[in-house]
Amino acid sequence: MIACLRTVGIPPEVRKRYLAWIAEGRAVREAHGILAELVLEPSNGEGETVVLTIWPSHEVFDAWIATPERARLTASGVHRAVSYQPITRYDITGGYLNHPGLAVTAASPVTPEETP
């Protein structure tokens, strides 16, 4: 399993649309193997926003990067309004996930009934 981290610059006027864009692309990303995607913002409002994605393998991630579906998502105006730093990949070598506990957070618009 791998984790990918990317720092993003989200203009304040685009933030809500960007978060909606992430949610709207969930199904297509999941169809291509993504396990998780989280947008991390500093609690104090200062610093950089980071997007964390988790994938089963480098091969699955590489296959996603090469898909026309990804190209269509990244061609959107919302995606182009955000600045992106290079993706850093990490092999996950330890730790754990409490998956049911991650299904819904206070910030998540998904209810437990909607969680697959």
Q: What is the mean pLDDT of residues 26-40?
A: 94
Confirm whether 106 is domain-assigned: no
Give the span between the Cα atoms of 23 and 14, in whole angstroms: 14
The CATH number for 18's domain is 3.30.70.100
Task: Convert the pLDDT of each residue in 66-116 to its tens digit.
Answer: 999 888 888 889 999 999 999 999 999 998 887 766 665 545 444 344 444
Confirm whether 82 is domain-assigned: yes
Domain count, the chain: 1
Q: How much is the pTM?
A: 0.81
Neighbours of 93 (CB within 10 A): 6
Confirm whether 112 is domain-assigned: no
Confirm whether 56 is domain-assigned: yes
Confirm whether 72 is domain-assigned: yes
Confirm whether 101 is domain-assigned: no
Burial 55-91 (b: 16+ CB within 10 A, else e): beeeeebeebeeeeebeebeeeebeeebeeeeeeeee
When pLDDT is cut at 50, 70 and 90, the band that residue 33 belongs to is very high
Angle at 83 between CA 50 and CA 25, to 5 degrees: 70
Confirm whether 61 is domain-assigned: yes
Provide the domain limits for residue 81. Answer: 2-92
